[in-house]
Amino acid sequence: LDEHFVKAVDLLTDIAFNSTFPEKQLELERGVILEEMAMYLDSPEDAIQDEFDGIVFPDHALGVNILGTQESVKGFTREDFNRFIYENLDTERTVLSVVGNMDFKKVVKVAEKFLKDIPAKKSNRVRMRPGGYEKKEVTVQKDNNQAQVAIGRPSFELSSPDRLPFFALVNLLGGPGMNSRFNLSLREKYGLVYQIEASLVSYSDTGLFSIFFGTDSRNLEKAFRLISRELDLLKGKPLGDVQLKTLKDQLKGQLAMAEESKQGYMLMMAKSILDLGYVEPLGDIFREIDTIGAARLQGLATEMFAEEELSRLIYN
């Protein structure tokens, strides 16, 4: 509640900069995380997404499961946490993002009260750009009722002029709308999947294009053929005027709805400041969407959906 804003900033500031990591609490949390890891391993539709990161980003932090391993979790000490904070905390890259019924001047005043005495700290860590990608096809034997599949490749970073057009293309293929091409084909027409999604995640220096679905093992090859057919259609033929307008309108609607979530809006602003140095107004994004042409989308499809560049990970 806005009436508790000052108390909330006080609490979050204390957590962020003054945590003490009591040994007893660490042991309790260690057990919680180990249980979370066990649940995660029992959920192949979740596990495959993290393992696929390791295929697309080999020998890079982006390819490492954020949960770690049982051995690493069991071995963490209080000193490890303090060292991690010392090596990574950068006060020049710390953002306070606020959405709500708050006067901006009051937000600044409260921020100054709790943050002005935080010692300046500069991290010396240098992020290494991912590289060394090579197409891989990996099959892992699992005792599952259905096969889980990941398909994808590295993609465009946040600052790339191709990111938004390619995001629109991915949204057309397997976005949240029930009219996505993958959903209409593999689910509605052929009944091969319960859910299939395509997504684009962009970072400061790279991105990840991925397709995830689950299906009966007997239907794997048919599912692959149908996916390839949809990709080939986008490579071989530009969208018509009506198709292009529908795609743009739907994408605008989804972005507008996302901004109706206060938490989502708050996180979007903070990430934009950290990654881009500014927050792009929704109207500017809409105008950029309006400039996307069918020929450009076809060119991106030809480049990004090349069969020789798409990796696969199959749990079967």
Lowest mean pLDDT among 85-89, 125-129, 142-146: 142-146
Distance CA 149, CA 313 (A): 6
| Residue 172, helix vs strand vs coil | helix
Q: For residue range 92-101, list pLDDT tens digits in order.
A: 999 999 999 9
Residues 6 or more apart whose CB falls under 8 angstroms from that of 56 comprise 63, 133, 152, 153, 154, 208, 210, 311
Tokens 């935080």 belong to residue = 118
If you average pLDDT over residues 271-280, what whole number do you get?
Answer: 92
Backbone dihedral region of 147: left (phi > 0), alpha (psi from -120 to 50 degrees) or beta?
Answer: beta
pTM assigned to the model: 0.91
Q: What's the confidence (pLDDT) of residue 132?
A: 87
Distance CA 156, CA 257 (A): 24
- State what percent of residues in the chain have pLDDT above 70: 100
191 by Cβ neighbours in 10 Å (0-12 / 13-18 / 19+) ranks as: exposed
Q: Which residues pair with 154 in a beta bridge?
A: 208
Q: What's the confidence (pLDDT) of residue 67?
A: 85
Residues 6 or more apart whose CB falls under 8 angstroms from that of 171 comprise 177, 180, 198, 247, 250, 251, 254
Distance CA 170, CA 199 (A): 6
